[in-house]
Structure 1
Amino acid sequence: MNKTSDKSEIPPTKPDLATEPCCKVGIATLGCKVNRYESAALEEELQKKNFSVVPFNSIADVYIINTCTVTAFSDFQSRQLIRRAHRMNPQAKIIVTGCYAQIAPRDVAMLDGVSMVIGNSLKHQIIELMQNNADASPCVLSGDLFRQKEFCNMPLASFGDRTRAFLKIQDGCNSFCSYCIVPFARGHSRSMASEDVLSAVNKLEREGYKEIVLTGIHMGLYGHDLQPATDISRILQKMCELNLDTRIRLSSIEPNEITADLLNIIKDGELLCPHLHIPLQSGDDKILQLMKRDYDTIFFRDLIEKVHSTISDIAIGVDVMVGFP
């Protein structure tokens, strides 16, 4: 944290964002790749609208905090960032969004300095909402995620000077594991239209990115909600047919959603990185049952053997939780 900020830089009053579009905005992000993607898309859109995006630990007119709620510690970190922003500039507008804002909007609104609480369902409208809100009292706009049926696209054209790009193609989760609050924070699974995915991948490849990471909350459900329905293997096969001069990497995918088709696409083509991140969560069958995970340790062991026998040089990452229940 920067403790040497010049207090003389603090503006005397809260900014009027409807008349001061060039004001300074600081963004802080907690949590997953999807959150980081959405913050980057928001930053890009702010710059297009002539806002000046500055480091979060500097004096800004507006602070946007994109929160996480996957653990109690991430809730604590979210509150810390809100308090830090208020200390840095008590006159700033503080806008809190993301999963903690979605799950506990009233609690967030009670924190000192918070101007707006915007849930995940309205995250893509943050700029419009903050420009239209002149009310001094905290405004809470959390929305009902379970009524949201359409994928909300937040396009992102550039990742600075990085060679790796991220593309969010799916949001939400239908699994409701007993330890996980994410379905309540993100809603049901929703997928980007296949043609939009292919168009976005083509665009990123033309811009020179050598690796594109496909991200989502529950990647294995990609396409199940579309009409006509599709799946992750079929969209990857369509990408292979584009003859792209880049690599595609999958983010985490559930054990029971790794199919023979998916493994063969990774094995036979040069497009997909030989890498899978597979959440195990526990190596004990009783714990897996209590977690409401729909596989057991024998299934997971057999899966890993199948993956290795199909793709001998594949890299596999796993998630393992401790302390449950």
Structure 2
Amino acid sequence: MKVAIYTLGCKVNQYETQAMEQELRRRGHQVVAFEEAADVYVVNSCSVTAVSDRKSRQMLYRVRREHPQAVLALCGCYSQTHPEDVEKLDVDLIAGTGDRSGFLDLLEQAAAERRHIVALDRSFDHRTFEVLPAGGLESRTRCLLKVEDGCVNFCSYCIIPYARGPVRSLPLDKAAEQAAGLKAAGYREIVLTGIEISSWGQDLKDGKSLIDLLETVAAAAPGVRLRLGSLEPRTVTEDFCRRAAALPDLCPQFHLSLQSGCDETLRRMNRKYDTARYLQSVELLNRFFDRPAVTTDLITGFPEETEAEFEQTLAFIRACGFARMHIFPYSIRPGTPAAKMRQVPKSVKEERAHRAAAVAAELRKNYLEGCVGATYPVLFEQPKEDWFFGHAPNYAEVLVKGTDLHNEIRPVTITSTDGEFLYGTIKE
């Protein structure tokens, strides 16, 4: 049968979609683009915000309208967190966030028998890590390696722990095996991803932590660039930095989730660090790495945030000197403690997001200007108009004049920047 999958949300969802596509092909099915005619359409949903829920529903409505005879299936976080809402939709198969192989068994069953199947599970019963095939499309230069699932931080604005359940970790031997396979398949960069990768190893109870995983993957795939997904700031200790800096293929780009630069706001968010501890992490990274790119996320207009608290945040992000920031006005996530707090008006949330974005653009420009004159090994990915596009180890986007550079790593001397891209010439 022909199967098309539409993916919303995070890199974990992207990874799980790629794994399902591989397994479908192994079973003899044909995977087609979502815009094409198919026998089965799957929506791998997200529920991080109410907007994400709406996007999932809109896609389901669209498929049912455009392909009324096709089998329609839903999996992912939205179905896990809102089962009552989902069961009201005209969907043939409803499943949650666990057991992707079992989901495909049910998908085949739904297609063969043309009957309605509901197979939701209890996310808090998830206790083992489901090992899925890594990789994806062989033409890609960079691949994802899912090493962790679940989260127990319970930030006051986030529903994901309820969708994904407790922490489960990919064992070291399986991580090494998959990393070696990705190297053999020709990938030049592996991105370690998960719901909360800083929690890797908590469930294994053998004293190992994320840095042990990183060293294991590096040893299994020498010469392949390694990049870390989002980190909890407390992961960054002196021991972590010393050992990480000794890995020659680790990309010096670290995404430290911030959310707010005000201690009172962080407390309401139920974050597990304060600004002093966060700044310590930034300073450690700058001490052990040469101009690392420290990137982050920021929520503006969190419930009860005052103008004075927001001003503290602006001052703090300037002190950190981020290379790049993702900025979001707070979005109410029903079912979370923050949804019951006193809300900031929408206009204020958006105005603060614009002000924070202006500071972020200034910081990014400063960081990129500091790259001019340096030479970086750039992993090239695809042509972009009259240029060829790639990423430096610090994840800066680099453009050079050239052709046929796909999946090559070449030294590039940076000659200029426009505040968004770096421009350079290949060093012969």
TM-score in terms of structure 1 length: 0.89
Question: Deviation at 1:135?
Answer: 6.1
Is 1:267 the counterpart of 2:255? The answer is no
Counterparts of residues 104-253 of structure 1 (less than 5 Å): 104-112=82-90, 114-133=91-110, 138-242=116-220, 244-253=222-231
Match of 2:319 in 1: none
Matches of 2:207 and 2:216, distance apart in 1: 14
Match of 2:424 in 1: none
Deviations 1:18-42 (A, max 9, x none): xxxxx21111000000000000110
Question: Deviation at 1:242?
Answer: 4.1
Matches of 1:158 and 1:30, distance apart in 2: 17
Could you tell which deviates more after superposition, 299-308 or 278-287?
299-308
8 Å CA contact retained: 1:157, 1:204: yes
8 Å CA contact retained: 1:122, 1:143: no
Question: Deviation at 1:257?
Answer: 1.5
Matches of 1:176 and 1:232, distance apart in 2: 20
Question: Deviation at 1:307?
Answer: 1.6
Deviations 1:49-90 (A, max 9, x none): 121211112221111000000001110100011011111210
Match of 2:371 in 1: none
**Paired amino acid for 1:118:** A
8 Å CA contact retained: 2:134, 2:182: no
Q: 1:84 aligns with which of 62, 70, 76?
A: 62
Match of 2:399 in 1: none
8 Å CA contact retained: 2:75, 2:94: yes
Could you tell which deviates more after superposition, 115-124 or 262-271?
262-271
Deviations 1:191-242 (A, max 9, x none): 0111000111111112221100010111011112115341111122233444
Question: Deviation at 1:93?
Answer: 0.9
Question: Deviation at 1:124?
Answer: 3.0
Q: Secondary structure at the match of 1:63?
A: strand
Q: Secondary structure at the match of 2:93?
A: strand
Indicate the RMSD between aligned Cα atoms, in angstroms.
Answer: 1.6
Q: 2:260 aligns with which of 276, 279, 282?
A: 282
Match of 2:359 in 1: none
Question: Deviation at 1:305?
Answer: 1.8
**Paired amino acid for 1:129:** L
Higher-Rg structure is 2
**Paired amino acid for 1:246:** V
Between the two proteins, the alignment pairs up a number of residues equal to 302
Matches of 1:35 and 1:131, distance apart in 2: 21
Moved over 6 A (4+): none
Counterparts of residues 50-89 of structure 1 (less than 5 Å): 50-89=28-67
Match of 1:303 in 2: 281
Q: Gaps (5+ residues) in structure 2?
A: 304-428
Matches of 1:31 and 1:243, distance apart in 2: 28
Larger relative contact order, structure 1 or 2 (CA cutoff 8 Å, min sep 6): 1
Could you tell which deviates more after superposition, 38-47 or 131-140?
131-140
Could you tell which deviates more after superposition, 237-246 or 29-38?
237-246
**Paired amino acid for 2:302:** F
**Paired amino acid for 2:280:** D
**Paired amino acid for 1:128:** D
Q: Secondary structure at the match of 1:168?
A: strand
Question: Deviation at 1:137?
Answer: 5.5
Change (3 A) 1:73 1:243: closer
Matches of 1:124 and 1:281, distance apart in 2: 35
Q: Secondary structure at the match of 1:288?
A: helix
Matches of 1:115 and 1:104, distance apart in 2: 16
Could you tell which deviates more after superposition, 228-237 or 217-226?
228-237
8 Å CA contact retained: 1:285, 1:297: yes
Q: Gaps (5+ residues) in structure 1?
A: 1-22
Q: Secondary structure at the match of 2:190?
A: strand
Question: Deviation at 1:121?
Answer: 1.6
TM-score in terms of structure 2 length: 0.68
Using the aligned pairs only, state the percent identity: 39
Matches of 2:187 and 2:286, distance apart in 1: 29
Matches of 1:152 and 1:215, distance apart in 2: 14
8 Å CA contact retained: 1:44, 1:156: no
Match of 1:38 in 2: 16
